[in-house]
Amino acid sequence: MKGSWHVSTSDAAALSPPEGRRSAEALRYGSLEVRYYAPRETDPQTPHDRDEVYIVASGRGFFVRGAERVAFEPGDMLFVPAQVEHRFEDFSPDFATWVLFYGPAGGERENPFI
């Protein structure tokens, strides 16, 4: 898939994450890195060094970002600035999300969302 400009959810779901990663790369362009993430049972994420956006492809559950916790469903978009603790909780077995990492390490700039 890497290098493709069109990737379907079913194509991305068939990708295997490389060893040491929990998500599979679907596209890369400049600083943009698009991955497909479908954890099972728990989400063991740690903060990332770049800003990221999640777009929920399937499933429902809760998303925790810092001290905040919100319900999510397919089609929802979630933003996380670099270095902010976050994770998905109590999600359904069919949960999967697109993850878009972008910008420089450390994030774009000081963020009013944190």
pLDDT digits (tens, 9 = 90+) for 76-110: 999 999 999 999 999 999 999 999 999 999 998 76
How many residues are recorded in the chain?
Answer: 114
Partners of 54 in beta bridges: 78, 99
Confidence (pTM): 0.89
Residue 47's pLDDT is what?
94
Domains and CATH numbers, the chain: 9-17+24-102 (2.60.120.10)
- Burial (CB < 10 A; 0-12, 13-18, 19+), residue 39, is middle
